[in-house]
Amino acid sequence: MQIKEISSKLLSEKYYEIDHPSGLKIFVWPKEGYNSTYGIFGTPFGSIYNHFTVGDDEVRVPDGIAHYLEHKLFESEEGDAFTLYASTGANANAYTSFDKTCYLFSCTKNFHRCLEILLGFVTSPYFTPETVQKEQGIIGQEIKMYDDSPDWRVMFNMLRAMYKEHPVRIDIAGTVETIAEITADKLYTCYNSYYNLHNMALTVVGKVTVDEVLEICDKQLKPCENVRVESHFPSEPYEVCEHYVEQKLPVAMPIFNLGFKGSGDKRLTEKEIAYTDILLFLLASSVSPMYRELMDEGLINSTFSYEQFEGPGYNCILFGGESRDPKKVEQIVKKYIEKLRAEGISQEDFENARRATYGDALSSLNSVDTTANLTEDFYFSGRKVFDYFDAIASATTQDIMNRLSEVLDADNTTLSVITGG
């Protein structure tokens, strides 16, 4: 077993990276003075993984199966994992995103038991035709709920209009029709392919030591064969499919997502992520000229937000919120992007943005759950947490201008709007 201490003099932070004999990658962030502990156990298997190869076998699975598998793993022959957690006083949950599925808990006591439960149910699948069929009705209701959610629909309408081939355009939960195709055998195929310990990661942050984590992992995790799985994604054109899409749903004010599609040929580096974060703060934060103009004209409110959204084969920058005139918002956003390109960035504005971005990122490490989630996300995407902080600290105005030349193509956008029905 290899244990490495990963430290940052810049941040005065450290964590431990462990290659466990079972094949599992483990990260432990001891936090002195903290009363809570957060554990997250994840695999890079999300909604976009519907086509893959294991050994010589090429596999295609129904849309929504990763989310379905997440639901079913909580069940066992002994009962439901939530019932086991109830006796510990912990909060437990799970989520499926586009590129991963994670199972988690947060506790202030009974840490050992909480981690035992987490490792136990995630590594002990139990699927039968009867239990799988029973879940179809439950998830079917969840899908219908998402279909009626304006915030959910504005996002996926945009992704469908933006992406032509990539499965990021498909709802994470699938459809009522696709989940009807899911069987116990298909769930086991996905589980055995992606839930191999060599493919997974465990992160524990808070009131914990390395020895405490290893004591439980050594007891519960056995060495397993490394299953090599290769995921396949269709070739995605750079251009968006549609520039505008609209749907009517009961909303008091129109809501919008404006997406700038980029190239998703490769995962972004720590520097690209950091430079984009600084760029977006310069352009769209609450202290930016663009934000002030949008607010002064009554075009946005406190719901306005922005983010970079990327994963295997997809990459875009999103702006969203409520607006009485989303098309006018789009015009102003694009105007300020071109203004930034033409006029450049002042040293004062850059320094303010860099410091604010660094401060926001640093404050996130005070949260056990944010730290753990960031660690899992960066590991699965091939990035290192401290390298991201170093990239922010060492960024220059030229780095940000170079990044601006690579992103926010005003001719390659999709505006998705939900209006009152």
- The CA–CA distances, whole Å, from 156 to 24, 43, 179, 214 equal 34, 23, 18, 41
Q: Which two tokens stand for residue 216?
A: 């439980």
Residue type for 207, please? K
Q: How many whole angstroms from its chain centre is CA 352?
A: 27
The Cα–Cα gap between 5 and 14 comes to: 7
- Contacts for 346 with CB less than 8 Å, ≥ 6 apart: none
| Secondary-structure breakdown of the chain: helix, strand, coil percentages, each rounded to the nearest 5 | 45, 25, 35
CB neighbours (10 Å) of residue 278? 24
Instruction: Give the position of tokens 């998703």.
Output: 264
- Give yes or no: 70 in active site: yes
Residue type for 130, please? E
- The active-site residue out of 13, 17, 70, 135 is 70
* Polymer length in residues for the chain: 421
Task: Report the candidate in 365, 374, 367, 399 with the shortest Cα–Cα distance to residue 282.
Answer: 399
Q: State the greatest distance between any 2 C-alpha atoms of the chain, in Å, as a whole number.
A: 65
Active-site residue set: 70
